[in-house]
A and B are shown apart, each in its own frame.
Chain A
Amino acid sequence: MIKISNLSKKFKNGDSDIIALHDVSITISTGDFVSVTGRSGSGKSTLLYQLGLLDHPSSGQIIIDDVDVNKLSSNERTVFRLEKLGYVFQDYAILPTLSALENVMLPILMQGKTRTYAIEKAKNSLIKVGLSDRMNNMPSQLSGGQQQRVSIARAIAHDPKILFADEPTANLDSETSEQIIKTFLNLNSEGQTIVMVTHELEFALRTKRIITLADGEIIKDVINQ
């Protein structure tokens, strides 16, 4: 499903280059639940940005669902993100002027679906993440955990092939974090492919595969039994 070959990402810092990712190659299969771990600055979020088509790599190839995504134009990348990918941001990234339901409806509407269908689908997604009683609340009326669940519902509402999550529990207390991880495990058990960046080992251990990065390179790639 995802094939990354010799992926590198460099940032300019004055006259010198900072290497965030160096020659990374991974293959992720359908139905996988991969956690990417590592210390701060190890390049795990950078890797996710490349996979989520939010950033362009300096070199290397990313093939998702048989498409070489580096060759896509800016508009094609947006359409690809909409059709194939779901993205859960670390700080939720909920749109403050839309209610929970409207936040989730938005990508579905963008797919050209009817309003009725979008409402129905968004409701189902919110129910799936345990927010059936908060659908019409504005983001400011929701707790951090609830906002993160809205973010997950929005990411899965349009049936993406792959769900990316960038440290989804980083800003949450342990109880709420547990709920979020359970939500991801449930989604994965239903067949959803998930790539999650986390620095919390206890959560990583509950995923099917753990990739550990250090200084932009893969130092460990372990399949959990």
Chain B
Amino acid sequence: MIQNFKRKIASFKISMHVGSFLAVRDIKNSNKWTTILIVFVMTLTFLNLVVVSGILVGLIEGSSVANKKYYAGDIIISPYPNEGYIRESQDIIKKVEKLPGFKGYTARYGTGGRITSNYRETLNPNQVTNTTASFIVGINPDRENSLTTISDKLIEGSFITSSDVDSVVLGSDLLFKYSPIDSPSQQTLKNVGIGSKILIEMNGNKKEFIIKGILKTKVNDVDLRVFMNETIFRKLSGRSDLNVYEIVAIFNPGTDISITKSFLIDQGVDQRAVIKTFEEAEPKFLQDIKDTFGMLGNIIGSIGLVVASITIFIVIFVNAITRRRYIGILKGIGISVTAIQISYIIQALFYAFLGVFFGSILVFFILKPFLLANPINFPFSDGILVATIGGTLTRSLILFMATIFAGYIPSLIVVRQNTLDAILGR
């Protein structure tokens, strides 16, 4: 039995040798344009496998990245429900500044308020006013901007400075112009733009402001806000304390954010406020969509894999069926069926390898850097291409396995035909 096994191994080795010998010659002497076309199809198939699902995941990843960059940082500390601000905020800020890997922070005052735009034209108190509820945020513009680079996302006007006392920046979702929704639950301001005067009311106090800038980050928590100078905010809200609504901190690359969060918990910060990492701060719908798109990506990837397998099957089958006589001669001169099948599998793997190679170059050296620099402008996120080395390797391996299968089946069908019929073309 062992001897039989050894004989089979030796026979397989010979078949491998002869199969690769035949495959190399077949590839070398094949029509160059046909080879280019097959490799092109394989490259597209690979891109279908990696890029389509990568864009789907990247669509949400863009949202995640924006949420982290323009809103939550690495860690965001906010008050418990029913509390209007973080108690002993300044003490917490000091603790945050001492955390390992600390890079910077911004603190935001905040409270609910109302904005009205046509208050000057409405003398009749029963007339419908152009108004909406909003979350008013008081910031140190320089600190906020250096941390979140939020001013990069201005679509109109300019950002407020520390000396602006009568100007505000509005999130685009507050304006009908950018978010044409007018439902009882969410109203938007109409006919309002840069330079328009608006009345902001919070904690029973009112003040007139001029809109200096409009920003669109595609992060809901930002685009529904009004930003003003923190000194004005405190004055308007009647606050004399320094307790803020949000503390956002970022850390140097490589810092383990979950460990950083646990440091804050160890110091009792969680007794006074809610501490969230950027992932925890993502809205639940975003995480749900992330999971959904991940599943969609896998489904589309699976379809791509089936398409890839069928493509390889057709290529090899056409190649084998048009060379029935060639295969018949090989069998006629004593070449084993295994060697012939191996030669076709190697050819299929060669096409798949080139497809993966060129596809990977396109993905990692062209598409990914390009989309990172020029994200796709989706309505709710700036889509990037998510393609990890690990994920791509896994997909490549699956593609290679499908290739072996898709290369084996057609060669099996053709090799099984009667040798003499194949040689004589009957």
Contact = CB atoms under 8 A, between A and B. Distances in A.
Interface of A: 49, 52, 54-55, 74-75, 78-79, 81-83, 85, 87, 89, 93, 95-98, 102, 106-107, 109-112, 138, 154-155, 158
Contacts of B14: 109-112
Given A93-B329, A95-B326, A112 B336 contact: no
Contact of A93 (B10, B29, B332): B332
Given A78-B334, A82-B334, A112-B10, A97 B25 contact: yes
Nearest to A97: B29
Contact of B25 (A87, A89, A102, A112): A102
Contacts of A49: 420
Given A87-B332, A93-B325, A98-B25, 20 more contacts: A54-B332, A54-B419, A74-B337, A78-B331, A78-B337, A81-B334, A82-B335, A89-B329, A93-B333, A93-B423, A97-B22, A97-B28, A102-B21, A102-B25, A106-B21, A106-B330, A110-B334, A110-B335, A110-B336, A110-B339
Interface string B1-38: 00000000010001001100110011011100000000
B333 A107 contact: yes
Contacts of A111: 14
A157 B28 CA distance: 25
Contacts of A85: 334
A167 to B, nearest CB: 13
A107 B337 contact: no
Contacts of A102: 21, 25
Contacts of B337: 74-75, 78
A97 B329 CA distance: 13
Interface residues of B, number: 27
Nearest to A54: B420
Interface string B387-426: 0000000000000000000000000000000111001000
A158 B26 CA distance: 23
B423 A54 contact: yes
B18 A110 contact: yes
The list of the 6 closest CB pairs from A to B, nearest first, reads: A82-B334, A97-B29, A54-B420, A81-B334, A93-B329, A112-B14
17 contacts: A54-B419, A55-B418, A74-B337, A78-B331, A78-B334, A79-B336, A81-B332, A83-B334, A89-B332, A93-B333, A96-B326, A97-B22, A102-B21, A102-B25, A109-B17, A110-B335, A154-B333
Given A55-B420, A96-B326, A109 B333 contact: no
B340 to A, nearest CB: 10
Contact of A79 (B29, B333, B334, B423): B334
Contacts of A109: 14, 17-18, 21
Given A54-B420, A109-B21, A95 B330 contact: yes
Best-surrounded residue of A81, A89, A110 (most CB of chain B within 10 A): A110
Contacts, number: 77
Contact of B18 (A81, A83, A89, A106): A106
Best-surrounded residue of B26, B30, B334, B423 (most CB of chain A within 10 A): B334
Interface in B261-283: none
Contacts of B339: 110
Interface in B314-336: 325-326, 329-336
A153 to B, nearest CB: 12
Contacts of A82: 333-335
Contact of B26 (A55, A79, A97): A97
A79 B337 CA distance: 10
Nearest to A99: B25
A103 to B, nearest CB: 9
A107 B336 CA distance: 10
Contacts of B22: 97-98, 106
Contacts of B420: 49, 54-55
Contacts of B418: 55
Contacts of A75: 336-337
Nearest to B30: A97
A110 B329 CA distance: 14
B331 to A, nearest CB: 6
Nearest to A92: B329
Nearest to A81: B334
B210 to A, nearest CB: 79
B35 to A, nearest CB: 13
Contacts of A138: 29
Contacts of B21: 102, 106, 109
A100 to B, nearest CB: 13
A106 B131 CA distance: 86
A38 to B, nearest CB: 19
A107 B17 CA distance: 12
A110 B337 CA distance: 11
Contacts of B334: 78-79, 81-83, 85, 107, 110, 158
Nearest to A87: B332
A195 to B, nearest CB: 16
Given A54-B419, A54-B420, A109-B18, A95 B336 contact: no
Contacts of A81: 332-334
B191 to A, nearest CB: 75
Contacts of B326: 95-96
Contacts of A95: 326, 329-330
Interface string B283-306: 000000000000000000000000
